Amino acid sequence: MKSVLTASAALALLALPAFAEGDAAKGEKEFNKCKACHMIADGDETIVRGGRVGPNLHGVIGRVMGSVEDYRYSDGFEAKAEAGEVWTEENLAEYVKDPSEFLGDRSKMTFKLRKGGEDVAAYLATFSE
């Protein structure tokens, strides 16, 4: 019985990355909700026109949290930046569900994306190295 439980747990853990992966095509559509505050621009090239209230999301996956120059982050993001925490598709998907809960502090981002966070993260990953 113990080996069956161990095997089941191992299979469940192996399947986790599959559940975390999103669909970039769906994420592109879902990102329309984000464009009110965020753009995707690489230097002078604007890839996705959007607002400037939030930071530019080009290269967000793999970037240290709270590290876009000239953007004023909340205290929670400043703490994550000091700790060197890096954006991954998984933690970005978690963040957009409830930004303040993710930070453990009040977030400037009040919008909550209850569904489709994995897809948006997969879409944004296409703009990261």
Report the C-alpha gap between 40 and 57 in whole angstroms: 5
Cα 95 from chain centre: 6
| Mean pLDDT value across residues 4-31 | 63
Structure tokens given for 60: 């967000």
**What pLDDT sits at residue 129?**
81
Check residue 49 and give its pLDDT.
96
Q: Flag the least confident range among 5-9, 30-34, 98-102, 114-118.
A: 5-9
Place of tokens 């965020």: 38
Q: What's the predicted TM-score (pTM) here?
A: 0.81
> Does domain 2-125 correspond to CATH entry 3.30.360.10?
no
